[in-house]
Structure 1
Amino acid sequence: MLEILGVSSAAESVYRAMLGKPELGVSGLAAQLGWSEEQVRGALDELARLSLVRQSDQRPGGLLLVNPEISLVSLLARQEVELTQRQQEITSGRLAISKIVAEYVDSVQNRRRVDVEELNGIDMVRVRLEELAHDCTSEIMEFTTGGGQSAESRQASKPIDQALLERGVHMRCVYLESVINHPQTVSYLDWLTQLGCRVRVAPSLPLRMVVFDRRAAVVPSNPDNTAVGALLLRGSGLVSALCALFEHIWEDAPPFGATRRRDEDTGLTSQARAVLSLLAQGHTDEVVARKMGISVRTARRITAELMTQLGARSRFQAGVIAGERGWLQGSVDGSAVPD
């Protein structure tokens, strides 16, 4: 019953026993429940951490129940705060998209020229990308989702990337961390960096996109199926929002090839912390896997390891405990290195 508040079934059993007989000590509770004293002490430690019991001032080492009307309501309030914080994280994650929508609405209302070109099918997308790359003169910013890239995708990108870099175009790309498990993509990124492209990696990315000269951007028309087609966006408002999103993620992403570090406070890798953040937002293992470019099996393994590390019995409880420990605050990876 109290598991929704983060109270384990063992701690709840001890709590209810103390409600009926508050005078019982550790040995008395152990006898009544048929447990060992060690089990009872473990449950009492949990109740004390949740502020459901406190130390007795009259009996050294003794514990007293905190008035349930105060303690349980306070515990529920903390859960509500955590839920609010997670909702705020989801809201802030959608901020860039909201800005794009707002700019689009403003442009229509002000009768400005709306320049959104729909590109249907992968062939049309690649032709348009070749044209935009040919006309690009100064800078490219790119998010590449999906983890390891297919041979067809690498073959299509190689001559375009080479021509851009040989012309002196400043090129920055962010790939998913999971590419390190795909040797062919790793080789391709090594080749890119040797030509002068600056590559960084992130545990997850919001969408696939390419921005040309901060004036035009290509984004998928359906982020869940990039093969369907794409949208070519122009205009300072629309593209500026995407550029701001890129700079935000670029700032926190470590360079490709850098040693992956664990967070000093949590001991988590950036990948594990990203999984935790996505779980806290309510995503399924399938969605987590797609966003991070990993297999569903890997996503489930990382989730299980996180639940074990947190001592959680459910995904919801894992999110609550992580929130209590401050593991959901800040960026996914604070180990960004200036490049």
Structure 2
Amino acid sequence: MFERFGVSGQAEHVYLELVHSEPTSREQLAAGLGPFAAGLDDVIAELSGHGLVSLDPTRALGFQVVAPHRAVDILIEREEQRLAREREALAASREGVGGLLEEFLSARVRRTGDAVETIDEPTVVRARLYQLIQGAQRCVDATHPGAALSAEATEQSLEVDRQLAGRGVAARILMSRESLGPEHWETYLEETTALGHRVRLMSAIPLLQIVIDEEIALLPFVTPAGRTGAKVLHGADLIRPAIVLFDELWGTGVPFEAGVGPGNDAKIDEARMRQVATLLAGGLKDETIARRLGISTRTVRRVVAALLDHLGAESCFQAACLAVRAGWLDPTDEAVRGEESVTGADAPRRKT
């Protein structure tokens, strides 16, 4: 029971004997221990070191056993202190690697003045990205096109997200809807949002890019040798197009919610999608649509995600246009034109 706290088996046996009986002398204790009584003084010293007995020269035994509930608290507190010291040492190791990383990168990154870096090797790209993320002070915006990462890569990404959250750096992450499905990936998205980062989904993300503090952008490219390289751009003016592109893509994304995936989308029928498409075209927000249909906002967002997939749209506006072309909606309908006779909270808010 106490082995995980570094207590020897003999010391634990002696402690349990003290708990189960109340010996009045060391001789009586030794008699109850039998073969475990060997080296009793050393064992008592070990128990004292762990805080499981308190020395008391006024007692015949010379010590008093600590009650089990308190003994466990003491062991846990000491283990937590040990783990905290280890975490501090690990954090110091991470900080200490900065100099080595800089030397590693300086020999492998080609720089054009202060504005542009060119990297030709995938491992160097990952190392430079790690360095840039570690230096983030305010915000990180990233797009992730394509499939989910492997379980190992996902765990590494989650660790980075934890570090950012711990430093108060906000992240906006735009994920491809096509990546949904693998359990480890959706768990990652849930944990990332729980950290306070924002995650949205969209189909057919055009490229991968990472923007840090609105001052630095990392953009990948394929080298002539067929490897994945990257350009690192510095300066707000130079990376302005990357910022504008991200904001436009972000505006078309659907907020990620647990349980929104291909398996769940299949349960949403066309009739429900037509209902939501009609109300979206009328300019109603998700919360209002939910009240109208008597469903949760989360369900509305699931239907919207399914609708976008079904129509091959990348935004709610595009979905409404495609729904009209498909004959789902009548463009003369008052609901579509945002002219329903509604008031208050149900009034259309996207009417122009």
What TM-score do you get using the length of structure 1 for normalisation? 0.45
Which one scores higher on RCO, CA 8 angstroms, separation ≥ 6? 1
Larger Rg, first or second structure (1 or 2):
2
